[in-house]
Structure 1
């Protein structure tokens, strides 16, 4: 297995490195924008769970790079993890479940609400689908909670969702706050994955609603099969596949040399991870230290042959 093996298996991973994106997920937001025109009229944007920063890169290039009034555009990226700096992006290392984080976002916007909030956050999947879907639902609701603090009326919210058996409950809760909710599947998102994205447009909370950081799913009081709801309680959200057959298929293997006139050349990752959790394990394995009790817990420096962002 050479360094080019993943380039051959995943065309979007290869293209992300060639075009300077920190992760292949940048194409997901770009394809969502092609379908929904997300960035039109946006001057203040928030990227939740931003690390390693590919969606913040998209926001920076789209909102600041093509506008004459680029200096008026403000972008705030929030994550618990440290993230390498990006031009035109203000970073907050904080918890999206805390009111103080919402207050700091508004402070960076000089008291004004955001026009757009995006969230590509996801848990470290366990392989136990029910557990993964539940944790992802909690993360989405946490993103929704902080969004109600910072998003302007009529604004847009985009977030990752796992389309599990109880996804109807999430759709119902999103419909309380947004008049338009669509579940979209970008072409760069693998067909084999239950991942999709909810595009929530026209933020219009119920009259008298006061934003708070409570999470209604955490009280364990739901004992209903939400797929059996009927009438006004039953919400059917449209599902949209973004892109057409002219785009690359994320589940297909492509030859390394796509263009006969252009020789393939390996491209290293744009931004290696900053002290990722797996880095210490790689260091211990390569140095045969896994069985030693006194193995150092200090994060070693990133080496060129250790894996980059995916």
Structure 2
């Protein structure tokens, strides 16, 4: 990475490295929390699609700040391995699998979560309609688990890609939460269609008991929930789905750092200051070498 690259001149990127965050996305959750006070009275948290762990870092530092909430529990779930984080229980698992739900409930001693969040996103293709669809499926997968594990009155936050059909998602979430807000943190680049859906006050659907089953698609999971989906009546009259526009809120002080701007390096930042690694490697080459050595399978050639 060259000295004049965009990342090096992005102050959020540099601040993340200086403050020990694993990614600049940590500032997005910090700004969302400052706007909505998401961590108030929170004891049990689930961070979905958590790797590399910047949101889990924020949750750990903020919830356990000043030595309080010693009985709080944070569970981070991702298919990829993560380096350990203080006060965070890490699960390398599939968020759509029932065993993942069972393991989380076991960790929480049968109690439901106060807050569920997801900063997950697909590898974008550049085809926005396709990227928007895949991201919507990822959100619905996270929402599946959230409906099974979130307590009544709890909160849910997830990354979204704003697009043509996002109002349908707003409408469907409105059946499950008292408030649904589209938020854009200052640390999220304005040039990006990325935003975050903030859902406050979970209200389970009457008579509907969510149950994770590997064979069910997200469409089949939510089909009996009656959340304003389109239907074709017996008289062949088509009733379209309800659509809503969620309130939009920009989070962060307007005088704070502009995430789309680049800044020249000042003299102090040009000094050779050695920083500790923000995370240890999850699968270093020497780890496999040590395993082979213990088994007597390591061959050393001269």
CA distance in 1, matches of 2:148, 2:100: 10
Offset at 1:245? 1.6
Aligned counterpart in structure 2 of residue 236 of structure 1, from 240, 245, 254: 245
Over aligned residue pairs, what C-alpha RMSD do you find?
A: 2.8
Once residues 123 and 61 of structure 1 are traced to their aligned partners in structure 2, the CA distance between those partners, rounded to angstroms, is 27
Structure 1: runs of 5+ lacking an equivalent: 225-229, 277-297, 299-310
Q: Structure 1 residues 273 and 136 mapped into 2: Cα distance closer, same or farther (>3 Å)?
A: farther
Partner of 2:108: 109
Superposed CA offset, 1:219-256 (max 9, x none): 9x9889xxxxx999231210111012211000000122
| Structure 1 counterpart of 2:24 | 24
Q: Quick check: 1:183–1:199 contact (8 Å CA) kept in 2?
A: yes
TM-score normalised per structure 1: 0.80
- Using a 3 Å threshold, how does the CA distance of structure 1 residues 163 and 272 change in structure 2: closer, same or farther? farther
Distance 1:191 1:144 in 2: 26
Q: C-alpha separation between the residues in 2 aligned to 1:4 and 1:176?
A: 48
Given that 1:183 and 1:239 are in contact with CA atoms closer than 8 Å, whether structure 2 keeps it comes out as: yes
Residue 201 of structure 2: SS of its match in structure 1?
A: strand
Question: Which of structures 1 and 2 has the bigger CA Rg?
Answer: 2
Cα 1:247–1:49 shift into 2, 3 Å: same
When normalised by structure 2's length, the TM-score is 0.82
The number of residues matched between the two structures is: 270
Following superposition, the deviation at residue 268 of structure 1 comes to: 7.0
SS in 2 for 1:145: helix
Runs of 4 or more consecutive aligned structure 1 residues displaced over 2 Å after TM superposition: 1-9, 65-68, 212-219, 221-224, 262-269, 271-276
* Cα distance, 1:272 vs structure 2: 6.3
Residues 63-98 of structure 1: per-residue CA shift (max 9 Å, x gap) = 012343x32110000000000011110011110111
Residues 259-278 of structure 1: CA deviation (Å, up to 9, x unaligned): x7x454465762266469xx
Aligned 8 A contact 2:185 2:252 in 1 = yes
